[in-house]
Structure 1
Amino acid sequence: MSGDMNEDVNNENKVIKPLTAEQVLALVPQQKPFRFIDEIISMDEEHIVGRYTYKQDESFYAGHFPGQPVTPGVILLETMAQTGVVAYGLYLLSLKLEASQLDQWLTLFSDAEVEFSRTVLPGETVTITAKKVFWRRMKLKAEVEMHNEQGELVTSCVISGMGVAKAQ
């Protein structure tokens, strides 16, 4: 092995270089206006940390609630799923497959147990941290927390998703 700290070996003893944060973001299938990851701050085999700022003009604020907009809980959950299952799953998958094979997989949300603690208003930035509970047979389960800029817990969940091969 070359000694590069970013390399890993898969089951066939091929050297696989894990994806960078930029490469993971490029592979996340959700796009504007439904992408809720601005950046990936760090990631490794045990965790991922991402960040998102809810824009003042996000479409869902118009009706939730007029005059006093609050980010819908389902959007907070989607934000946590995009970082803690989709992006993190792509990274973990990149430790097993060559980069050219990654676009053959789609991550599907399977379940979540969520607890909401605070509201998130337009313009607020949140940090999402996911820690792996398990990753096997293309299924990822993670404990995810979202904190606001003051470091206060906004919401937490245990969330799962699984990779499925795209139809050819």
Structure 2
Amino acid sequence: MNNGCPLDIRKIMEMLPHRYPFLLVDRVLEFEAGVRLKAVKNVTINENFFQGHFPGLPVMPGVLQLEALAQTGALFVMNSFDEPLGDRIFLFTGLDKVKFRRPVVPGDQLVLNVQFLKQKLNIWKMRGVAEVDGQVTCQGEFSAAIANRGDM
């Protein structure tokens, strides 16, 4: 990907292996190679998790906000990597300093910001911040590895 964003859902689906109901990034808005990526997830009442979380009081689970940030991180790494991933996959390896600040509800647009912190071998460390209307909903640092599918 070049800096000619936005990146639509078709391109995102070419890059990420996730599909409904687990694809949690709708559009990439901004990208700076090796620095950061900004994306969005439009949250609707049609999300399957709202059936049970919580009936009569729909709230997006915090772990799914973190997953949306992880998928955003995967898009960042895939577009910052010097070569195609081929048969390799991007896997979450750790979370640090996670905080949940505000609930996410149907009708919200979750803005997903990922910033590069460091890379060592096949491990990438990033800072993620999710926001709605400029208010932080969750934040944290996470690490991920690029692994061979055949090794799993």
Give the TM bin, normalised by the shorter chain: 0.7 to 0.9
Separation (CA, whole Å) in 2 of partners of 1:25 and 1:158: 25
Q: Please name the residue that 1:3 is paired with.
A: none
Q: How does 1:55-94 map to 2 (within 5 A)?
A: 55-84=44-73, 86-93=74-81
Shift of 1:135: 2.1
Are 2:114 and 1:130 equivalent residues in the alignment? yes
1:94-133 correspondence runs (5 A): 96-97=82-83, 99=84, 102-113=85-96, 114-133=98-117
Counterpart-to-counterpart distance in 1, 2:52 and 2:117: 36
Corresponding position: 1:141 with 2:141:
no
* Structure 1 residues 15-40: Cα deviation after superposition (integer angstroms, max 9, x where no partner): xxxxx945455211111111000011
Normalised by the size of structure 2, how large is the TM-score? 0.87
Q: Conserved in 2, the CA contact under 8 Å of 1:24 and 1:90?
A: no
Tell me how far apart the structure 2 counterparts of residues 25 and 31 of structure 1 sit (CA, whole Å): 8
Matches within 5 A, 1:21-60: 21=7, 23=11, 25-43=13-31, 44-60=33-49
TM-score by length of 1: 0.79
Identity percentage of aligned residues: 24
- DSSP-derived class of the 2:44 partner: coil
RMSD: 2.1
For residue 60 of structure 1, give the secondary structure of its aligned residue in structure 2.
Answer: helix
Asked whether the 8 Å contact 1:25–1:87 carries over to 2, the reply is: no
User: Secondary structure at the residue paired with 2:18?
Assistant: coil
Aligned length: 145
Residue 123 of structure 1 and its aligned partner are, at CA, apart by 2.1
Moved over 6 A (4+): none
